[in-house]
Amino acid sequence: MNIASFDDLLQAARQQAQPQRLLFVFASADLPDDSTAAQRDSFLAGEGGALVPTMCVDKTAEELLTFSDLVQESTQFGQEWSIVFAAALSGSGGLAPTSEAAEKPLQQMVEAIKAGTLGTYIPFDRQGQPVMLA
């Protein structure tokens, strides 16, 4: 299935043979201290910078109805974010993984994002649209 929106992600998760737990890492863009003048100019124009994870959460596909629900919940923590990375953890035996089972994969996502290893995660902007990262 082609994921063209956050709603597509939710639909795909709900269609899997086993229940899914969705993993989300919210990140903000930051300008590294050692950035060049050109990098600072690009950053001020809304491009570039380094992605810094600010918070994470896991939800079953049934707990999350819309992207707006996720955005609204994120505001409760008072952290700014510009992009959210999503992944799914598959259950077994007809049961979704528990939040406890999601802790280690969530921490691995955080570390991967810090390291710039983003290939297995789907990034979404604040409107729920997939983002192509260069």
7-40, pLDDT tens digit by residue? 999 999 999 999 999 999 999 988 777 777 877 7
In this structure, is residue 1 part of a structural domain? no
Q: Report how far Cα 91 is from the mean position of its chain's Cα atoms.
A: 19
The reply to whether 43 falls in a domain is yes
Q: Tell me if 118 is assigned to some domain.
A: yes
The answer to whether residue 133 sits within a structural domain is no
Q: Quick check: is 68 in a domain?
A: yes
**pLDDT tens, position by position, 86-97:** 999 999 999 999
Q: How many domains does the chain have?
A: 1
**Strand, coil or helix: what is 19?**
coil
- Is residue 124 within 8 Å of 70, Cβ to Cβ? no
* Residue 100 counted as domain residue: yes
Within-domain flag for 132: no
- 115 in any annotated domain: yes
Q: What predicted TM-score, i.e. pTM, was given to this entire model?
A: 0.88
Q: Using CA atoms, how far apart are residues 124 and 56, in angstroms rounded to an integer?
A: 14
Cβ-based neighbour number of residue 112 at 10 Å: 18
